[in-house]
Structure 1
């Protein structure tokens, strides 16, 4: 179905604005790297951090609490230090936002500057319990747009990568979202977030309970980034989460879904805001039905 004129014009303006910015930044501002170089270095960093995760996976962990259910281990901290040190050596003029740095020092504003957004160990609770749904997540935003994404699960040895405009890949092979068109036949991935205030928990569980009657089944696996990658490679058809930790939970996965032919959006159906802590994803064929199913009175 063709887009309506107004929406099409808005999309064209946003796309053109971003493209012109990227062109001028790459070629007019003395830029010496490339998006491919960014990806290659991010992959190197992710694999090095993945080795730390793999070595610590079956060992006894020393666990700290950032919140009621939000955990952190020495592995999280070591991985973030390694990734930041490595990337800063290669890209000293870039900005950096990390989950553990934010927890220790407070939030860093996301600007239009090239910014690496890192979750050194997405799925820390899974890691603590020896559940292999864990990953290193490294995303690069340019003008706040997710542009390069690397998600690496070192336990299952799965490497998801994408550059905006260049496609999405799993271990070097092209991936695409599913072509499912019926909600009732769809597999939904969902998470309950880290907010344990009663109203937030009630909202999350109520929405999942209602969706259970509209989709084939629901999976809650404990990693926002790997859920997004699941949509990207067609393992699941739908995903949503609210009240997740921060932009590090979506920065890499968002571009991977986009490049796999999927859509990333706010659960209300509005445009995705990487700083909002609200995300949904699907293939384009089922988005409207999914958004409608996500809306509940009150």
Structure 2
């Protein structure tokens, strides 16, 4: 879909935010109704990488609704990419969409699922909307305008000490033995430096929302995708938190790795402990997925 070359300052960003909120709420209603019924499940990259008809239906709803309102904008959607669309972020206004973040939870009826919709302009993340459609919690963030949950302003934790941190992570869908072993090695490393605990809830978008609310101190993951974190990155930053690459540098949205925390000190401390697990970039044409140490 052709882009318009619009600049962030020229876009009606508040209108974009309102449109994203409304379609997220509409999508959430569909997901709630589908959560407890039997689902037709297919697999994508692995036996643990699941997709349902509801994922596909919700993504089509979100894209068609936003395309009608903003016909010059581009889209990156999880299910569209799985069907063969390119995952390329240009300077054009681009919506980055995960129709159901936590599909494995959704398949099993576990009530930890969310709709995630982010917007980037000139490769800069401008706004994010995440809807926890079971608990009906709506997280929103717009660059320079704060982050909110159901209208209440969010503030990330100011904790700097890893020994006082509760940390979230996810296993992801990759089951390649070396990568799995390194994922568990990283958990062991963080426990060995006396982190309070490590938790897995099954939704990276909601993990990051918990960082934004200050309910947990940090989140890290290797192997997630741009649609897992685009919307949440805005929310975390606007809540006063930080997102970095697992090597300690600036976040690269397409790198499939992130550390998020309420403070830079804690994010960097976690990054120093992590043994990297290398995945194919979201914007890469290469097929190989490999793992290597520092």
Where does residue 216 of structure 1 map in the other structure?
Answer: 196
Contact 2:241-2:261 at 8 Å conserved across structures:
yes
Equivalent position SS for 1:240: strand
Give RMSD over aligned pairs. 1.5
Which segments of structure 1 move beyond 3 Å, counting only runs of 4 or more? Answer: 295-298
Relative to its length, the structure with more helix (as a share) is 1
Deviates more, 1:158-167 or 1:177-186: 177-186
What is the distance in 1 between the residues matched to 2:172 and 2:36?
Answer: 26
Distance in 2 of aligned mates of 1:287 and 1:136: 26
Counterpart Cα distance in 2 of 1:41 and 1:50: 14
The offset of 1:293, in angstroms, is: 2.6
Of 98, 106, 119, 2:98 maps to: 119
**CA distance in 2: counterparts of 1:197 and 1:65, whole angstroms:** 16
Q: Does 1:104 align with 2:83?
A: yes
Task: Tell me the equivalent position of 2:122.
Answer: 143
Partners of 1:268 and 1:295 within 8 A in 2 = no
How far residue 154 of structure 1 moved from its aligned partner, in angstroms, is 0.8
Deviation, 1:144, is 1.3
Mapping of residues 5-16 of structure 1, within 5 Å: none
CA apart distance, 1:223: 0.7
How many angstroms apart in 1 are the aligned matches of 2:185 and 2:16?
41
Structure 2 residue aligned with 1:85, among 64, 73, 96?
64
| Cα 1:26–1:288 shift into 2, 3 Å | closer
SS of the equivalent of 2:192 reads: coil
| 1:59 partnered with 2:37 | yes
Instruction: From 156, 176, 194, give the equivalent of 1:177.
Output: 156
Q: Give 2:24's match in structure 1, choosing from 46, 50, 63.
A: 46
The 2-side partners of 1:94 and 1:123 are apart by 26
User: Following TM superposition, by how much is the alpha carbon of 1:226 offset from its aligned partner in structure 2, in angstroms?
Assistant: 0.6
1:139-191, Cα deviation, whole Å (9 max, x unpaired): 00111121110000110111100000000000111001012121111000011
The structural deviation recorded for 1:286 is: 2.0
Q: TM-score under structure 2 normalisation?
A: 0.88
Q: Distance in 2 between matches of 1:201 and 1:107?
A: 27
Tell me, in whole angstroms, the C-alpha distance in 2 between the residues paired with 1:287 and 1:154. Answer: 29
Distance in 2, Cα, partners of 1:294 & 1:108? 27
Query: Deviation string for 1:193-240 (max 9, x for gaps)?
Result: 222111111111110122122200011111111111110001110100
Unpaired runs of 5+ residues, structure 1, are 1-23
In 1, distance between residues paired with 2:106 and 2:87? Answer: 26
Structure 2 SS opposite 1:72: strand
What is the rounded CA distance, in whole Å, between the counterparts of 1:118 and 1:145 in structure 2?
Answer: 15
Deviation at 1:108, TM superposition (A): 2.8
Structure 1 residues 109 and 179: alpha-carbon distance in aligned structure 2, compared to 1, 3 A threshold: same
From 7, 19, 26, the counterpart of 1:25 = 7
What SS does structure 2 have at the residue aligned with 1:286?
helix
SS of equivalent residue, structure 2 residue 80: helix
Aligned residues: 270
TM-aligned CA deviation for residue 109 of structure 1: 1.2
> Which residue in 2 is equivalent to 1:262?
241
1:238 counterpart (214, 218, 228): 218
5+ residue gaps in structure 2?
A: 1-5, 277-292
- Contact 1:63 1:74 survives alignment (8 Å): yes
